[in-house]
A and B are shown apart, each in its own frame.
Chain A
Amino acid sequence: MADYKLTELMTIRAAKEIADGEVVFIGVGLPIMVAAYAFATHAPNMIMLTEGGAIRATPPQALAITVDDPAAFLGGDATFGMLATMAALQRGEVDLAFLGAAQIDKYGNLNSTGAGDWSKKESFTYFAGSGGANDMATSGKRTVTIIPQDKKKFVETCEYITTPGYLTGPGAREALGMQGGGPDCVISTMGVYRFDEDTKEMYLAEFFPGQSVEKIRAACAWDLKVSPNVVETTVPTEEDLKILRSLDPTGFYLG
C-alpha cells in the first residue's frame, strides 16, 4: 500500500467531487491543490474561477498562495476582478464551490465569524469573517466543505451562522429563495459526509483508513447518523500520489 499524508488523501478524495466540464469556484488553501489535481486527472475540461477574479481552463502554472496572487492569473484565460467571478455565482453558473470554516453543524451551516455569543462582546472570539463563503453557499449549485474534525468544530448548532447550509432543515433554503442547492459533501480529517435528502441532516458516508465509526462519532458533538452503506475511503495509488506530488514539489500545501 502506498504511503501517503492525510492532506494528500483529503486532496485526492475532494478532487473526485469535481465532474469533468464543471464550473468550479476555488478559494484559498487546499482547494487550489484539489483543482490542480482534478485538472491533471479526470477533469481536464473543468473551468476554474477564483475569488480574486481569475478564470482558467488550465491549472495555475505556478503555485498560487493567495486568491489574488499573480500566479493564479499567469497563463489564465481571463483576468477580472472579484465582481466578474462572484457575479457568475449570482447568475447561477457555478456548479461547485469549495468552502472551509471553523465550525460546522448537522445541517451543514458554517461558522467562520467567531466563537461565543456575538451579543456578549467582551467574550466573543472573532475569526476572519465570511469572505466569499456565504455568497458561494447561497448561490453555488452545490458545495463541498473541507474542515478539520473534533467536537468543538462539529457542533449541534453553529454559534454564529456565517454561511448557510440547510439552515433549520427541510424547506428553509427554499423559503428564503436561495437558488443554490446547498451542501452536497463534507470532507473532514476523519471521513466523508453526505446529507439526507429528506431530513437534510449530515451523515457519515465514508471513514478514512485508520479511523472507525466509533472514533468519528466521538469527535462529533451531535448524535451523528451513519449510512448503512458506510465504507472505508479508497486509498490513493502510487500513480495518484505521483501526479499530486508533482503539482506541489516543495510540499507547500501538502506538507
Chain B
Amino acid sequence: MDVDKRMSLKDAVAKFIHDGDVVYYGGFQIMVPMALTHEIIRQKKRHLTTIESSTDVGGLDLMVGAGCVSQIHSAWIMNWYVKAPYAVRRAFNNGHLKRYDISNFGATTAMMAGFMGVPFMPILGNIGSDMQKHNTTDLRVIEDPFTGNKVNVVRAWRADVAIIHAQKADRLGNVISYGTRGVTDEFGANGAKRGVIVTAEEIVEPEVTRTDPDRVIVPYFKTLAVVHCPYGAHPSACRGYYGLDIRFSQYQGKYERYEELLPHFLDEWVYGCKDQEAYIEKYKSKFGQAGLDLLKPKLGFAPSPKLGVDYGYHDPTCWKGVPLYTDDRLKAFEEALAAKGGK
C-alpha cells in the first residue's frame, strides 16, 4: 500500500503529539531531534513524559525550560559544552519536573523490554545505588525463579510516540540510519505504541530503500509522519551531513544557564522561526555561511553507491582559533554579571 506520509514539521507535531504523551526522545550526543524539539516548544505542548537513555546538546533542556515536560526517565541529560543541564536543574528545584534516574544500560534494557513487548527485564546494574533507592517506579529487586537469587529488574518503557532524526527516509516511512545506529533508536522508536515521527536530511524513493534494507531501523508500518528537514539535528551532528556545532552549543548553553536569558533564546531561535528552514536562515544571518561550512564532514568513508551512503566524519580540530559565538544581549548580560562579581 503506497501511503504518502510526508508532511510539514508543523502538521506532524500538531497531528501526532498530544499533551500528556510519553515521548521517546531520539539520538544521543549526535542525531538529536532538534527541529522536532523546537516545533514541540512552538506548539506549547504540555505535560510530556520523556524516555531516552542519554541526551546531549541541551535539546531536552530547552524543552524542559520551555515548560513542555513534566517527567523525565533518563540516565544522562546534558549540554556537554556548558557542563550542566541548567533548565532541568531549575525545573527540578521548582517542583515542576519529576526525574526518574537510571543507568544507561538500565534505560536501554527498559526500552528493549518495550520493544519486545514484555513487562520487565533483568539488569545487572543499578543495584546498591541511590538510583535503585529513589526510582522504584522503574527498578525493583525480585527473586530469580530459577536460582532463588535476588535479581534487579527494570520496568518496560513504551512511548506513545517517538521522535527521531535520520539521514534518509522514504515517503512510506521506512527510516534509514547508519554509521552508528543511535544508541537506542531501534528500541525506543519501534517500541512506541502509536508510532514514530521522523525528520530526515533527504527523502529517497522506496525503490532506493529496497536496494539496501539492512539500513532501515524503523519499517514503514511503524511510521506516522515523514518530515524532510535538512539540518534537523543541528547543533548535534548527523553522520555524513554535518558535524557537531560546538560553538553554537556553547552559545545556546549560556542561554540555558540563566533563567532570565532563556526566554530570549526561545523568542529568537524557536518562536521567532516558523520552521527549521527559517532557523537555518537565522543562523546564517547571525553567524554566517562560514559557521555552517565549518560543520562539513570529511566524506569518502565506506560509501554504498546505490544508496549514496557515506558515513563521513567531522574533524573537531576545525574549532581551534574559532572565537566563541555571542551577541549583544549575551555580551551585555555577561558584563553586568561580571560587574556584580558573578561569573
Residues of A within 8 A of B (CB): 28, 51-54, 62-63, 65-71, 73-74, 79-83, 86, 89-90, 113, 118-119, 121-135, 138-139, 160-164, 167, 172-173, 176-179, 249-252
Question: For B181, what are the chain A residues with a Cβ–Cβ distance below 8 Å?
Answer: 53, 79, 81
| B258 within 8 Å of A (CB atoms) | no
Question: For A130, what are the chain B residues with a Cβ–Cβ distance below 8 Å?
Answer: 75-76, 101-104, 129, 131
Question: For A125, what are the chain B residues with a Cβ–Cβ distance below 8 Å?
Answer: 89
| B223 within 8 Å of A (CB atoms) | no
Verify A81–B316 contact, CB threshold 8 A.
Answer: no
Verify B128–A178 contact, CB threshold 8 A.
Answer: yes
Instruction: Kindly report which residue of chain B lies nearest to residue A139, judged by CB atoms.
Output: B124
Question: For B317, what are the chain A residues with a Cβ–Cβ distance below 8 Å?
Answer: 63, 249-250, 252
* Residues B152-175 near A (CB distance < 8 A): none
Verify A68–B312 contact, CB threshold 8 A.
Answer: no
Question: For A121, what are the chain B residues with a Cβ–Cβ distance below 8 Å?
Answer: 92-93, 95
User: Once the chains are docked, how many angstroms separate the CA of A112 from the CA of B103?
Assistant: 11
Q: Smallest CB–CB gap between B333 and chain A, Å?
A: 22
Q: Smallest CB–CB gap between A17 and chain B, Å?
A: 22
Verify A52–B239 contact, CB threshold 8 A.
Answer: no
| B315 within 8 Å of A (CB atoms) | yes
Verify B180–A54 contact, CB threshold 8 A.
Answer: yes
- Interface stretch, picked from B182-190, B199-207, B282-290, is B182-190
Verify A69–B237 contact, CB threshold 8 A.
Answer: yes
- Interface stretch, picked from B9-17, B105-113, B324-332, is B105-113
Instruction: Kindly report which residue of chain A lies nearest to residue B302, judged by CB atoms.
Output: A74
**A–B Cβ pairs within 8 angstroms, 10 of them:** A63-B317, A68-B180, A73-B179, A81-B182, A126-B89, A127-B84, A130-B101, A139-B124, A176-B127, A176-B150
Verify A164–B129 contact, CB threshold 8 A.
Answer: yes
User: Once the chains are docked, how many angstroms separate the CA of A79 from the CA of B214?
Assistant: 13
Question: For B88, what are the chain A residues with a Cβ–Cβ distance below 8 Å?
Answer: 126
Question: For A54, what are the chain B residues with a Cβ–Cβ distance below 8 Å?
Answer: 180
Question: For B304, what are the chain A residues with a Cβ–Cβ distance below 8 Å?
Answer: none
Verify A83–B125 contact, CB threshold 8 A.
Answer: no
Instruction: Kindly report which residue of chain B lies nearest to residue A111, judged by CB atoms.
Output: B130
User: Once the chains are docked, how many angstroms separate the CA of A67 from the CA of B94?
Assistant: 32
| B85 within 8 Å of A (CB atoms) | yes
| B220 within 8 Å of A (CB atoms) | no
Instruction: Kindly report which residue of chain B lies nearest to residue A66, judged by CB atoms.
Output: B29
Set B95, B103, B301, B320: member contacting A135, Cβ < 8 A: B103
Q: Smallest CB–CB gap between B136 and chain A, Å?
A: 13
Q: Smallest CB–CB gap between B157 and chain A, Å?
A: 15
> Contacts A70-B239, A70-B311, A122-B93 given: A135-B106 contact, CB under 8 Å?
yes
Verify B56–A66 contact, CB threshold 8 A.
Answer: yes
> Contacts A132-B103, A167-B128 given: A65-B93 contact, CB under 8 Å?
no
Instruction: Kindly report which residue of chain A lies nearest to residue B134, judged by CB atoms.
Output: A118
Verify A124–B92 contact, CB threshold 8 A.
Answer: yes
Q: Smallest CB–CB gap between B334 and chain A, Å?
A: 22
Question: For B228, what are the chain A residues with a Cβ–Cβ distance below 8 Å?
Answer: none
Verify B180–A90 contact, CB threshold 8 A.
Answer: no
Set B78, B92, B95, B112: member contacting A128, Cβ < 8 A: B78
Q: Smallest CB–CB gap between A147 and chain B, Å?
A: 14
Set B80, B101, B112, B134: member contacting A83, Cβ < 8 A: B112
Verify A70–B128 contact, CB threshold 8 A.
Answer: no
Verify A129–B134 contact, CB threshold 8 A.
Answer: no
User: Once the chains are docked, how many angstroms separate the CA of A127 from the CA of B54?
Assistant: 13
* Residues B274-305 near A (CB distance < 8 A): 297-298, 301
Verify A51–B131 contact, CB threshold 8 A.
Answer: no
Set A28, A81, A89: member contacting B180, Cβ < 8 A: A81
Question: For A28, what are the chain B residues with a Cβ–Cβ distance below 8 Å?
Answer: 29, 80
Verify A89–B105 contact, CB threshold 8 A.
Answer: yes
| B38 within 8 Å of A (CB atoms) | no
Top 9 A-B pairs ranked by shortest CB distance?
A66-B29, A134-B103, A70-B313, A132-B104, A131-B76, A135-B125, A135-B105, A128-B78, A86-B105
| B45 within 8 Å of A (CB atoms) | no
Set B56, B131, B187, B316: member contacting A63, Cβ < 8 A: B316
| B126 within 8 Å of A (CB atoms) | yes
Question: For A135, what are the chain B residues with a Cβ–Cβ distance below 8 Å?
Answer: 103-106, 124-125
> Contacts A62-B315, A131-B75 given: A86-B130 contact, CB under 8 Å?
no
* Residues B65-80 near A (CB distance < 8 A): 74-78, 80
User: Once the chains are docked, how many angstroms separate the CA of A252 from the CA of B317?
Assistant: 7
> Contacts A70-B314, A131-B76 given: A118-B130 contact, CB under 8 Å?
yes
User: Once the chains are docked, how many angstroms separate the CA of A51 from the CA of B177?
Assistant: 18
User: Once the chains are docked, how many angstroms separate the CA of A173 from the CA of B125?
Assistant: 12
Q: Smallest CB–CB gap between A156 and chain B, Å?
A: 16
- How does the 8 Å CB contact mask read for B105-148 relative to A, with 1 for contact and 0 for none? 11010001000000000001111111100100000000000000
Q: Smallest CB–CB gap between A179 and chain B, Å?
A: 7
Question: For B186, what are the chain A residues with a Cβ–Cβ distance below 8 Å?
Answer: 81
Question: For B313, what are the chain A residues with a Cβ–Cβ distance below 8 Å?
Answer: 62, 69-71, 73-74
Verify B130–A52 contact, CB threshold 8 A.
Answer: no
Question: Assuming A52-B183, A252-B317, what are 12 further A-B pairs, CB within 8 angstroms?
Answer: A53-B180, A53-B181, A63-B317, A66-B30, A69-B237, A81-B184, A82-B104, A118-B134, A134-B103, A135-B125, A161-B129, A176-B150
Verify B183–A161 contact, CB threshold 8 A.
Answer: no
Verify A128–B77 contact, CB threshold 8 A.
Answer: yes
Verify B56–A132 contact, CB threshold 8 A.
Answer: no
| B255 within 8 Å of A (CB atoms) | no
User: Once the chains are docked, how many angstroms separate the CA of A179 from the CA of B186?
Assistant: 29
